[in-house]
Chain A
Amino acid sequence: MILKLNEGVFNIEDVANLELSGDRQIELQIGPSHPGSGHMRIKVTLDGDIITRVDPDIGFVHRTSEWLSERREFIKAIPIVERIMLPDTVHANLSYILALEKILDIEPPPRAQYLRSLAAEINRITSHLYGIGIFGIFLGSSTVYMWAFGDREPFIDLMEALTGARITNSYIVPGGVRWEMPKGFKEKAESTLQYMEKRLNDYNDIWAKNPVVEARTINVGVISSLDAIKLGIVGPNLRASGVDFDTRKDSPYAAYSQLDFEIPKMENGDSYDRLLIRIEEIKQSMRIIRQILKDIPDGKIIADGIYSQLNPVMKKVYEQNQRAMFPAFFLNMRPPSGESTARVEAGRGEIFFYLNTDGNKYPNRFRWVTPSFRNLPFFTKVAVGHRLADLPTIYGSIDYFPPEADR
């Protein structure tokens, strides 16, 4: 059977009807040790240059985050969930804390809600820059790779100023956040945002409007909105297909219900749209950060229930350094038995969190689904029918992060 070329992409039906005789096809093992695989293996079957089958083999960096968390005190699970999605630590932290707070029945004060949104949006920008950088190097553009990782630095510095740590912040605790916004933070954040606005024009020139990038990504890895919903795609990848779905709008958490922002969405659902939507979301995140810096209310950064449990020394530290130390009850916390869920819109999509407690010091069941795992069907469904060189394009465009999927 002879394949007909249709705008550079073959129909999945045509490929599926191919006679899969052994001589004609070769199987490539891309990964787990390959510059274009990340921490996973992608078994690719090729007919000539056309991909007929993709079998992503994940689990190489499975770190038993759920098992570990079920055998520790509740507060000690925060560093564990953070380390699963290192470019996106605040969202992992936040999703867990939201689920825990529902069981503990604590409501953080408004200022803490705003600070949570602030940290989350700074983190979303770093996460998207990370994704843009990896996409760049997958297409061969080392410049975009270096730029994106370099421009991630000012935002990581912001996080360091805000939380005391660059990546693994452990910023969000039950009932609030750990650190007050430092002096001079607003000016620093504003200058960082102005820098990034200038840089986004450069990204437009060398990345989004680059003729080679357009040739490589337009009409590559197309997924329709209906297919995207059927496959359970989340996050920017879903919105690039034209589905207006964002947890920040649909079930607001933190301070998002008081903030004014838009959810950018695209129409075609190809790799180019997934590239553009990340740049658009960076712009929206910057808009949100500006609003937060302007509108942030005064008040405590931890809930009154937690504050009253601080001992006098801790209260002194809180008043002087604007830093919330852990009261003793955090370590010996025995939440009432119950179950709760939380949804958080992370950089790559929605995190779903399920927590089940039975009145013990440790969680009874600790379960979470990360966005990268839900974006996995892209490999099996979308990459088939494309050329081998399109596999890195699709991989990079969905911003797939293997450690996040493996948990």
Chain B
Amino acid sequence: MALLPLIIWLIEDLLYVIVFPGLVVIMIIVIFLIYLERKIAAKVQMRFGPLWVSKKIGGALQSIADLMRFSFQEFILPNGSDSLAFLMAPGLMFSFALLPLIFIPVGPYYTSLFPSGLTILFSIALITITPIYAIIVGWSSDNKFSFIGSLREAFLLISYEIPLLLSVVAMIIIYKTLDYLPAVAFQEVHSLPGIIINPIAALVFIIVAIRSTGRFPFDITEADSELVMGLFTEYSALFFGIGMATPYIELYIMSLIFSLLFLGGWWPISSHSAGLIGGLFLPGVAVIMKAFIVMAILVFLRSVYPRYRLDQAVRSGWDKIIYLSIIAVLVSIVEAIVI
């Protein structure tokens, strides 16, 4: 008799991790986001974008066709590369990009794999690991362009890590918790999304999200007119595909965190609703929709802005963004004292 709840628990958790909002949904979202990015850019740029693969549905399967092409392409291992690191780093980078997801709830009915009450802390900590593997990718390729790309990644990592942490700290001070569930509950109780409570922190977070996922105008590590393909110059086949998909995974994670911390999470769905539909599905849809809108806005930037230079990006990180993030923390402290 005790077996049945265990089985239900297992199935629900497996569903949670693998199907919704886990890997399957992520893959669908990433594939659709790449398609959407290309379509938005095409609309701005007076052209069609992906069209000829599955013409009846407007070329929506183009990304899947690309994925298949990457899967069956020949993989080339450069002679001078550090082969172990060369082979391992993209996979590790991809995995660590996905890992924050186990700490990010997309609904009030949330059985964390590691119930800790520290989910914000863990997810942010895991986000900061991915760039280290990006640096290893560039180092192991034995290519000067990749190497310069990884150096740029390192510079940017250092200059934008602190604002990221500070902008999250600003929200933690207000929510008085390190867990996502109470943070969303706080926004629900006060009927105020975080972006209104502390807009400066939201601004800093969104800038850092653009930076850390390499969207324009901070597409500096992959600047193709200077560095060919940046970190992934020497890669081919599925490894290249993984490398190209990782920033989109990161973008998804960042957008999820943004919608939880700043956009009220699953609001307007109540935290007290229960059941598979009301407790898991609807809040998940609400959060993912918000994250998707954020992502669509961020990928739209490609059509508007060229890229900054490395020194300009680093300087703006140390000159402006870090002061903004400190101001955001001060604003939060004042608000926490007053309210």
Known: A137-B225, A138-B225, A142-B302. A212 touches B311 (CB 8 A): no
B161 to chain A, nearest CB (A): 20
Known: A140-B219, A142-B45. A36 touches B305 (CB 8 A): no
Question: Whose C-beta in chain B lies nearest to the C-beta of A8?
Answer: B311
Please name all residues of chain A whose beta carbon is closer than 8 Å to the beta carbon of B148 when the two chains form the complex: 28, 388
B215-257 residues with Cβ-Cβ distance < 8 A to A are: 216-217, 219-220, 223-226, 228
A103-125 residues with Cβ-Cβ distance < 8 A to B are: none
Q: Could you list 20 A-B pairs, sorted by A, with CB under 8 Å? A: A8-B311, A28-B145, A36-B226, A49-B310, A140-B216, A140-B223, A140-B225, A140-B305, A141-B305, A142-B302, A212-B306, A215-B309, A216-B307, A216-B308, A216-B312, A387-B309, A388-B148, A389-B309, A392-B225, A392-B226
B339: Cβ under 8 A from any A Cβ: no
Pick the interface stretch among A52-60, A143-151, A186-194, A320-328. A143-151
3 nearest A-B pairs in the assembled complex, by CB-CB distance: A36-B225, A146-B45, A139-B306
B47: Cβ under 8 A from any A Cβ: yes
Please name all residues of chain B whose beta carbon is closer than 8 Å to the beta carbon of A213 when the two chains form the complex: 306
Please name all residues of chain A whose beta carbon is closer than 8 Å to the beta carbon of B226 when the two chains form the complex: 30, 36, 388-389, 391-392
Known: A146-B47, A147-B45. A136 touches B306 (CB 8 A): yes
B154 to chain A, nearest CB (A): 13
| B-side interface size class | 20 to 34
B41: Cβ under 8 A from any A Cβ: yes
A26–B302 alpha-carbon span in the complex (Å): 31
A41 to chain B, nearest CB (A): 14
B38-84 residues with Cβ-Cβ distance < 8 A to A are: 41, 44-47
A140, A143, A390, most chain B CB atoms within 10 A: A140
* Contact (Cβ within 8 A) A35 B225: yes
* Contact (Cβ within 8 A) B306 A216: yes
A206: Cβ under 8 A from any B Cβ: yes
B133-158 residues with Cβ-Cβ distance < 8 A to A are: 144-145, 148
* Contact (Cβ within 8 A) A146 B46: yes
Question: Whose C-beta in chain B lies nearest to the C-beta of A215?
Answer: B312
* Contact (Cβ within 8 A) B308 A215: yes
* Contact (Cβ within 8 A) B310 A387: yes
A381–B144 alpha-carbon span in the complex (Å): 24
* Contact (Cβ within 8 A) A212 B302: no
* Contact (Cβ within 8 A) A143 B47: no
Please name all residues of chain B whose beta carbon is closer than 8 Å to the beta carbon of A210 when the two chains form the complex: 304-306
Please name all residues of chain B whose beta carbon is closer than 8 Å to the beta carbon of A72 when the two chains form the complex: none
Please name all residues of chain A whose beta carbon is closer than 8 Å to the beta carbon of B44 when the two chains form the complex: 143
B123: Cβ under 8 A from any A Cβ: no
* Contact (Cβ within 8 A) B228 A35: yes
Please name all residues of chain B whose beta carbon is closer than 8 Å to the beta carbon of A137 when the two chains form the complex: 225
A135-190 residues with Cβ-Cβ distance < 8 A to B are: 136-144, 146-147, 150
Which one of B144, B223, B305 contacts A212 once the chains associate, using CB atoms below 8 Å? Answer: B305
Please name all residues of chain B whose beta carbon is closer than 8 Å to the beta carbon of A138 when the two chains form the complex: 225
B273: Cβ under 8 A from any A Cβ: no
Which one of A35, A36, A150 contacts B46 once the chains associate, using CB atoms below 8 Å? Answer: A150
A98 to chain B, nearest CB (A): 37
Please name all residues of chain A whose beta carbon is closer than 8 Å to the beta carbon of B177 when the two chains form the complex: none
Known: A49-B310, A140-B306, A141-B305. A34 touches B46 (CB 8 A): no
B303: Cβ under 8 A from any A Cβ: yes
Please name all residues of chain B whose beta carbon is closer than 8 Å to the beta carbon of A35 when the two chains form the complex: 224-225, 228
A163 to chain B, nearest CB (A): 25
Please name all residues of chain A whose beta carbon is closer than 8 Å to the beta carbon of B306 when the two chains form the complex: 136, 139-141, 144, 210, 212-213, 216
Give the A-B pair count, Cβ closer than 8 A: 83
B305, B307, B312, most chain A CB atoms within 10 A: B305
Known: A35-B224, A36-B225. A390 touches B45 (CB 8 A): no
| A-side interface size class | 20 to 34
Which one of A26, A34, A49, A143 contacts B41 once the chains associate, using CB atoms below 8 Å? Answer: A143
* Contact (Cβ within 8 A) A387 B311: yes
B304-338 residues with Cβ-Cβ distance < 8 A to A are: 304-312
A388–B155 alpha-carbon span in the complex (Å): 15
A313 to chain B, nearest CB (A): 45
Please name all residues of chain B whose beta carbon is closer than 8 Å to the beta carbon of A216 when the two chains form the complex: 306-309, 312
A391–B217 alpha-carbon span in the complex (Å): 18
Question: Whose C-beta in chain A lies nearest to the C-beta of B302?
Answer: A142
Please name all residues of chain A whose beta carbon is closer than 8 Å to the beta carbon of B308 when the two chains form the complex: 212, 215-216
Please name all residues of chain B whose beta carbon is closer than 8 Å to the beta carbon of A139 when the two chains form the complex: 225, 306-307
B310 to chain A, nearest CB (A): 6
A152–B54 alpha-carbon span in the complex (Å): 30
Question: Whose C-beta in chain B lies nearest to the C-beta of A389?
Answer: B309
A34–B47 alpha-carbon span in the complex (Å): 25
* Contact (Cβ within 8 A) A389 B223: yes
Please name all residues of chain B whose beta carbon is closer than 8 Å to the beta carbon of A8 when the two chains form the complex: 311
* Contact (Cβ within 8 A) A140 B304: no
A143–B228 alpha-carbon span in the complex (Å): 19
Please name all residues of chain A whose beta carbon is closer than 8 Å to the beta carbon of B217 when the two chains form the complex: 140, 212
| 4 additional contacts (CB under 8 A) given A136-B306, A137-B225, A215-B309 | A49-B311, A141-B305, A146-B45, A150-B46
A147–B46 alpha-carbon span in the complex (Å): 7
Question: Whose C-beta in chain A lies nearest to the C-beta of B309?
Answer: A389
Contact with B along A10-36 (1 / 0, CB 8 A): 000000000000000010101000111
Contact with A along B103-124 (1 / 0, CB 8 A): 0000000000000000000000
* Contact (Cβ within 8 A) A26 B216: no
Please name all residues of chain A whose beta carbon is closer than 8 Å to the beta carbon of B312 when the two chains form the complex: 215-216
Question: Whose C-beta in chain B lies nearest to the C-beta of A34?
Answer: B228
Please name all residues of chain A whose beta carbon is closer than 8 Å to the beta carbon of B144 when the two chains form the complex: 26, 28
Question: Whose C-beta in chain A lies nearest to the C-beta of B316?
Answer: A215
Which one of B219, B220, B224, B307 contacts A36 once the chains associate, using CB atoms below 8 Å? Answer: B224
A94–B32 alpha-carbon span in the complex (Å): 51
B312 to chain A, nearest CB (A): 6
B192 to chain A, nearest CB (A): 32
B318 to chain A, nearest CB (A): 14
Please name all residues of chain A whose beta carbon is closer than 8 Å to the beta carbon of B310 when the two chains form the complex: 49, 387, 389
A392 to chain B, nearest CB (A): 4
A141–B223 alpha-carbon span in the complex (Å): 11
Question: Whose C-beta in chain A lies nearest to the C-beta of B312?
Answer: A215
Please name all residues of chain A whose beta carbon is closer than 8 Å to the beta carbon of B45 when the two chains form the complex: 142-143, 146-147, 150
A141 to chain B, nearest CB (A): 4
Please name all residues of chain B whose beta carbon is closer than 8 Å to the beta carbon of A49 when the two chains form the complex: 310-311
